[in-house]
């Protein structure tokens, strides 16, 4: 088996169908392809859709939403491909993408993990497809403080601290996005699967950091392209997603940089980010720029970060 594709899905049946059709078109370009869909207790017709329309897909159903890392690892355990592709259900794989990425890795044995160019429906390249690993400096300037949103200085800070790459060029990078990442079997064997301590986000960048520490190169390959609708599952649970992503970044700092950096990050979020959220939300509400419902959502996010407790992604 040359390639195993693993898709973790939750309540995005229509998008998943488009994703699977785009994979099916490319079956003849791969010398042995298996596809796993791991369903995280969807309440829509995902399971029925896969069983009825895509019988060639290997379906794994979970009785509850087990999160991105655990669900992907369920597929990884069963995968037999020389290469394993983690793919979001809100993607459409552009023809020849798999073939380009696999051939690139075959000719570059130092690469353990790679990501394609991710493009939005409007054709814009998504900067997150090749990025630097987060640091306390980037977190402070781009997330906690309003620097990343300021005119002129904002784009400069984002390029300098998070996205310094030329997206037209294939190149080694610090991290690629978990929405579409190809990993070599040998790298997977030596580095291990995704860290299941992560419930929601952060596991992909930690995986990239672990690959680099183990001596593997992380590569961005713009010749391979994936259309990414981005964040469709997260939109269903906006408050929980915002809180859990903040706590997951704490787990990233803990595992990559240690307790001291994680402690500093936690208090940056509490002492700087929470006041910023509440101040901006309050001002925009008073000015009539956001609704009462939107204001309440933002205050719930701030409250959740203050409590520092993970929230179920099902609510």
- pLDDT tens for 244-303 read 889 999 999 999 999 999 999 999 999 888 998 899 899 999 999 999 999 999 999 999
In which band, very low, low, confident or very high, does the pLDDT at 226 lie, cut at 50, 70 and 90?
very high
Which residue reads 């001291």 in tokens? 260
Give the global pTM.
0.90
Whole-angstrom Cα Rg for the chain? 20
**Sequence-distant (≥ 6) Cβ neighbours of residue 31 within 8 angstroms:** 2
Closest CA to 130 of 180, 176, 86: 176
**Percentage, residues of the chain above pLDDT 70:** 96
Could you give the residue range(s) of every CATH 3.90.550.10 domain in the chain?
3-130+165-228
Q: What is the mean pLDDT of residues 175-184?
A: 97
Antiparallel, parallel or unpaired: β 171-172 and 217-228: antiparallel
Closest CA to 247 of 207, 174, 158, 307: 307
Closest CA to 208 of 185, 228, 181: 181
DSSP summary character for residue 28: G
Q: Domain 3-130+165-228 falls in which CATH fold?
A: Spore Coat Polysaccharide Biosynthesis Protein SpsA; Chain A (3.90.550)
pLDDT of 151 reads 73
Distance, in Å, from the CA atom of 188 to the CA atom of 112, rounded to the nearest integer, reads: 8
Antiparallel, parallel or unpaired: β 111-119 and 180-184: antiparallel
Distance, in Å, from the CA atom of 202 to the CA atom of 68, rounded to the nearest integer, reads: 10
Between 235 and 253, where is the model more confident? 253
pLDDT(232) > 60: no
**H or E, element range at 275:** helix 274-286
User: For residues 58 and 26, is the Cβ–Cβ distance under 8 A?
Assistant: no
Beta bridge partners of 83: 3, 184
Angle of helix 259-268 relative to helix 238-256, nearest 10 degrees? 150
Distance, in Å, from the CA atom of 86 to the CA atom of 109, rounded to the nearest integer, reads: 20
pLDDT of 315 reads 39
In which band, very low, low, confident or very high, does the pLDDT at 238 lie, cut at 50, 70 and 90?
confident
Phi, psi angle pair for 196, to nearest 5°: -80, 0
Give the least confident one: 15-24, 56-65, 143-152, 219-228.
143-152
pLDDT of 240 reads 87
Q: What is the mean pLDDT of residues 28-50?
A: 96
Give the least confident one: 7-16, 126-135, 193-202, 260-269.
193-202
Distance, in Å, from the CA atom of 221 to the CA atom of 169, rounded to the nearest integer, reads: 8
Give the least confident one: 4-13, 144-153, 253-262.
144-153
Q: What is the mean pLDDT of residues 197-219?
A: 93
Distance, in Å, from the CA atom of 70 to the CA atom of 239, rounded to the nearest integer, reads: 21
pLDDT of 52 reads 97
User: Within 13 Å and on the Cβ side, how many CA atoms surround 116?
Assistant: 29
């Amino acid at each position: 088996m040359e390639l195993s594709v693993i898709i973790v899905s939750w309540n995005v049946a229509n998008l998943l169908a488009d994703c699977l059709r785009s994979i099916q078109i490319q079956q003849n370009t791969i010398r042995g392809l298996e596809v796993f869909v791991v369903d995280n207790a969807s309440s829509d017709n995902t399971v029925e859709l896969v069983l009825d329309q895509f019988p060639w897909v290997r379906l794994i159903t979970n009785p509850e939403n087990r999160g991105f890392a655990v669900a992907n690892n369920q597929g990884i355990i069963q995968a037999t491909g020389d290469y394993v592709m983690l793919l979001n259900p809100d993607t459409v794989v552009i023809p020849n993408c798999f073939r380009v990425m696999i051939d690139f890795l075959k000719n570059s044995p130092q690469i353990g993990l790679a990501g394609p160019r991710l493009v939005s429906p409007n054709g814009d390249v998504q900067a997150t497809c090749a990025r630097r690993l987060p640091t306390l400096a980037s977190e402070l300037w781009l997330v906690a403080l309003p620097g990343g949103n300021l005119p002129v200085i904002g784009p400069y800070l984002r390029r300098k601290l998070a996205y310094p790459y030329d997206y037209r060029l294939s190149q080694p990078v610090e991290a690629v996005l978990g929405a579409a990442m190809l990993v070599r079997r040998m790298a997977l064997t030596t580095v291990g699967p995704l860290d299941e301590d992560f419930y929601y986000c952060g596991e992909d960048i930690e995986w990239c950091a672990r690959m680099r520490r183990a001596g593997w190169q992380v590569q961005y390959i713009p010749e391979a392209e994936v259309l990414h609708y981005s964040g469709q599952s997260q939109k269903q649970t906006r408050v929980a997603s915002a809180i859990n992503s903040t706590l997951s970044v704490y787990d990233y700092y803990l595992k990559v940089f240690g307790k001291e950096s994680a402690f500093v990050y936690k208090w940056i979020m509490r002492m700087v980010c929470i006041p910023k959220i509440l101040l901006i939300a309050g001002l925009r509400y008073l000015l009539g720029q956001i609704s009462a419902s939107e204001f309440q959502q933002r205050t719930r996010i701030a409250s959740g970060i203050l409590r520092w407790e993970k929230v179920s992604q099902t609510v």
